[in-house]
Structure 1
Amino acid sequence: MKYKKIAKNLFVKNRQKFVKRMENNGIAIFNSNDIYPISADSTMPFQQHRDIFYLSGVDQEESILVLFPNAFDEKHREMLFLKETNEHIAVWEGEKLTKPAAFETSGIKNVYWLDQFDAIMKVVMAQADKIYFNKNEHTRANTIVQTREDRFIESFSKNHPSHSVRKSSPIMHAIRSIKEDTEIALMQEACDITEKGLRRILGFIKPGVMEYEIEAELMHEFLRNRSNGFAYTPIIGSGKNACVLHYIENNQPCQDGDVILMDFGAEYANYASDMTRCVPVNGRFSERQKAVYNAVLKVKKEAEKLLVPGTYLHTYHAEVGKLMESGLLDLGLIDQTDIKNQDPEWPAYKKYFMHGTSHFIGLDTHDVGSWTVPIEAGMAFTCEPGIYIPEEGIGIRIEDDLIVQESGDPFNLMRNIPIEAEEIEDLMQHG
């Protein structure tokens, strides 16, 4: 890992939060992700399952976490099973966690090798009557590919058919959505690296530069600041490409007179940042481009103020829609007749602003969290309104990452990143 060591207290506290919500005599099991094969002996870079990382800090493959707070033997109340390391593995694959290192990482005293898993689980499963399985229940999840966790659940269920099953995901969604101070600091680090990336490219962008060259500059800056790279596939869309919401080809030249929409964020220690900025290729917005830009920025500034405890996300999004409606009226993109004749299920403003304004962010870019409970202090959200006008070749989205506070406006993790049109123009021209 490139990131600095995280104090184990975070993971100790996270496990306590999970255990507190478990039913009596239940046992919970969490698995690492696979290292996914491509072809021949090629694999994708390993990415740890965010839930086992959240609960243990362990960031390597073939790891299993077991939580059984009611176990008779204290050694069985929290256990970590790891791939056994040796000198041969260290030479070929690099150093893996030893038992002492695993304790220093996780705060878990009882660390075993994987070959002990079946024997120990035979003992503890005889004491438990409920088992918590960890399925991916994110509302936008693609669950076609069978994961290591899926395979484990399938085989373990066959071997223990008499245990009643519980879901870990409702607990994980609830506790992961409220960020600890340590987590906020890690997210701040990710945002600070993202800021460095943006400042690097503001002086680099000019007519004729390729979208992928901008992407390359960002990757350079991220890696040299202890990030593994992008938290998600970056969008670098110039001109009409900015109107394609998930444009990721990034293979076109940036033309004089166009605006580039750049949606990117660095990860740090598995935590995501998610930012969007729009800049003029030649360093100057046209009058129309600046009018659209400022309209989006105005909606964003007002929308942020609505991210307060007690509000439901569906209510928040409806209120932001009203703000956007006003902005589009001012720009002449819609009129009162459009509003009068609109479909309530697809309001007139949706023609130019068709996506949501905010999503949870944290260990995942689209982090887990419930839309059926009110917003609470400590929750982290993006705020990203946009206006897309394909017929004019203008797409503007502006996005920051925010932490909800007990009172007042949310805390902006991207407060130091240039956002005003004039500041962006000045930095592009004078550095």
Structure 2
Amino acid sequence: MKYPTIDQSLFILNRKNFSKQLKNKSLAIFNASDEFPRSGDQNFVFKQNPDLFYLSGIDQEQTILLLYPDCPNPLYREVLFLRQTNDYIKVWEGYKYTKEQAKAASGIEAIYWLEDFDNILHSIVNYADHIYLNTNENDRYSPEVPYRDLRFIEKIKSKYPLHHFERSAPIMRGLRAVKSDVEIELTKKACTITRDAFIRVLKFTKPGVKEYEIEAEIIHEFIRQGGTGHAYTPIIASGHNANILHYNDNNQTCKDGDVILFDFGAEYANYNADMSRSIPVNGRFTTRQKEVYNAVHHVMKESIKLIGEGVLWNTYHEQVGEVMTEQLIKLGLITTEEVKNQNPAWPAYKKYFMHGTSHHLGIDVHDFAGRYTPFATGNILTVEPGIYIPEEGLGIRLENNILITANGNVDLMADIPLAAEEIEDIMNS
């Protein structure tokens, strides 16, 4: 692994919290993610199923976790099944967990090879009434490919049709949204790496540089510091490209007088940062660019104040919309008359700020959490307002990662340059 071993106490606690919410006489099964083909004889880089990682700390393909808290055979109350290595795999693929290493990483005593799964499951499953199975219920995801969890559900339901099948996802949705101290520290590390990459970019950017050259500087810093890589496909959007919300071609030349909108973050130990910044290619904002920049910065600061324990998602976004509306009127982009006559389903401000302000952050960049669950202590949320003006070839987005605590909000990116003047000073130093 690129990252140091995570204390197994995190995963032991996570399993304990999950198991508490199971019905009596229940077992739960979690599968590793699929390995996806990249070409005729290669796979994409493996990315672990976030729920399995959350409960076990195991970062390897073809892994199965079985939890059966009240199993009549105490040997099988927590069982981890691993792909067994061999001489061929050692030569061609390298490191795989030994049983001892998996035990040390997860805190699970019962470690078996994958070939033992069917026999062990069959020996205990008939003493359970309920089988909890996992799927991706992130409401941002609509699967069209029958991934491993879906294939497994079909298989196990045909083999044990009279059991009561339950969903693990509602339990995981509640658990994963509230971050432990260890998870917060891992997220902070991802934010620190992201900060250093951004400062590197500030010193590198100048007229004539290619967007992909900037991307190369970012990944250099991520990998240099032990990050796994990008938390998501980075956006390096100069000039008019900034008005394409998910622009990631990153193949244009950055021109004198334009602003570049960045949206990138490091992944570290499966935890993610998510940052947006906007900088002038030549190191100096024009008067209009700075005016729009400061308006977005104002909305960001006010939005951070609005987040807190017990706040409802929809209420928060409505309040942010009101703050943004004020700024857009000041910028001359919308009028009070347009606001007065706006369609409540699509307010006037949406013409220039059409996306949401926040999402949960964690093992997934858009982390698994309840859209209708009030914000709570331990949540980490992005705050990312933006103003996009196609007719001016200008798009500004600013984004930091905010931790809700009992004593108020903590900005995990407070040490990353943000104010327009600070950006200019670094670029011209």
Range into which the TM-score falls when normalised by the shorter chain: over 0.9
> Normalised by the size of structure 2, how large is the TM-score?
0.99
- Which residue number corresponds to residue 360 of structure 1? 360
Which SS does the other structure have where 1:48 is aligned? coil
- Which residue number corresponds to residue 2 of structure 1? 2
Give the deviation of 1:84 after TM superposition: 1.2
- Which residue number corresponds to residue 90 of structure 2? 90
Which SS does the other structure have where 1:371 is aligned? coil
AA at the equivalent of 1:244:
I
Q: 1:172-211 residue pairs with structure 2 within 5 A?
A: 172-211=172-211
Which SS does the other structure have where 2:241 is aligned? helix
Give the deviation of 1:39 after TM superposition: 2.7
AA at the equivalent of 2:410:
F
- Which residue number corresponds to residue 277 of structure 1? 277
Cα RMSD (Å): 0.8
- Which residue number corresponds to residue 384 of structure 1? 384
Which SS does the other structure have where 2:277 is aligned? strand
Task: State whether structure 2 residue 417 is matched by structure 1 residue 425.
Answer: no
Which SS does the other structure have where 1:162 is aligned? coil
- Which residue number corresponds to residue 40 of structure 1? 40
Aligned length: 429
Task: State whether structure 2 residue 232 is matched by structure 1 residue 232.
Answer: yes
Q: For the Cα contact (< 8 Å) 1:79–1:111, is it kept in 2?
A: yes
Give the deviation of 1:75 after TM superposition: 0.8
AA at the equivalent of 1:413:
L
Aligned-residue identity in percent: 52
Which SS does the other structure have where 1:187 is aligned? helix
Task: State whether structure 2 residue 138 is matched by structure 1 residue 128.
Answer: no
Q: 1:29-428 residue pairs with structure 2 within 5 A?
A: 29-408=29-408, 410-428=409-427
Q: For the Cα contact (< 8 Å) 1:34–1:61, is it kept in 2?
A: yes
Give the deviation of 1:87 after TM superposition: 3.5
Runs of 5+ unmatched residues, structure 1 = none
Give the deviation of 1:42 after TM superposition: 1.5
AA at the equivalent of 2:192:
D
Q: Which aligned segments of 4 or more residues in structure 1 are displaced greater than 6 angstroms?
A: none
d(CA) in 2 for partners of 1:189, 1:279:
24
Q: For the Cα contact (< 8 Å) 1:308–1:407, is it kept in 2?
A: no
AA at the equivalent of 1:134:
N
d(CA) in 1 for partners of 2:85, 2:388:
53
Q: For the Cα contact (< 8 Å) 1:219–1:229, is it kept in 2?
A: yes
AA at the equivalent of 2:37:
P
Which SS does the other structure have where 1:395 is aligned? strand
d(CA) in 1 for partners of 2:389, 2:104:
53
Give the deviation of 1:229 after TM superposition: 1.0
Give the deviation of 1:219 after TM superposition: 0.6
Give the deviation of 1:97 after TM superposition: 0.8
Give the deviation of 1:92 after TM superposition: 2.0
Offset from partner CA, 1:300-334 (integer Å, 9 cap, x none): 00100111001101100000000000111111111
> Normalised by the size of structure 1, how large is the TM-score?
0.98
Runs of 5+ unmatched residues, structure 2 = none
Give the deviation of 1:180 after TM superposition: 0.3
d(CA) in 1 for partners of 2:54, 2:160:
27
Which SS does the other structure have where 1:387 is aligned? strand
- Range moving further from structure 2, 414-423 or 78-87: 78-87
d(CA) in 2 for partners of 1:393, 1:196:
28
d(CA) in 1 for partners of 2:166, 2:236:
42
d(CA) in 1 for partners of 2:109, 2:53:
17
d(CA) in 1 for partners of 2:381, 2:288:
30
